Amino acid sequence: MTLLQHELTDFTVQAFQNNDFHEVTKADVLGHWSLFFFYPADFTFVCPTELEDLADHYEEFKKIGCEIYSVSHDTHFVHKAWHDANEKIAKIQYPMLADPTALLARDLDTYNEELGQAERGDFIINPEGKVVAYEVISSNVGRNAEELLRRVQASQFVYEHGDQVCPAKWEPGEATIAPSLDLVGQL
């Protein structure tokens, strides 16, 4: 079963952002692009490198109208403690969502019941709240913010230009492909 075009379930979770706590709901996600970035747990090893990489590219995501939501099973209190204790995490300005009941992780099928935590999953969500791209990988392999940014940009392009597709390694401004019968077997 694929999660492509899966619509997020209604949710309300606590978040830590800019040294404050607040709620994030499904309604907050609608109307703009989102990257839901699941990771196993705070105070771990690969996770801070990934979250710092996203923090270093956060302005680029904001420029293209995409909000980043990091998500783990930790509470918002733990997110704050990690933010206060770790210089990599202290860079984060995007919302760190608390998912202690695994509502979001289960909805997006990244929850590992045996471990009681989410796998490393990233989900690009369109303005209607639907998954348009995702990957779930082994918990011992970190992800690359630049590739995630490129995938968001490609997803945005095809969302606006449904008659075109983006080839491998496509970057904004590069040529796309308009599928047609005369191209079959020619690429």
- The single-letter code of the amino acid at 166 is C
* Cβ–Cβ under 8 Å, residues 69 and 112: no
Q: Which residues are catalytic?
A: 47
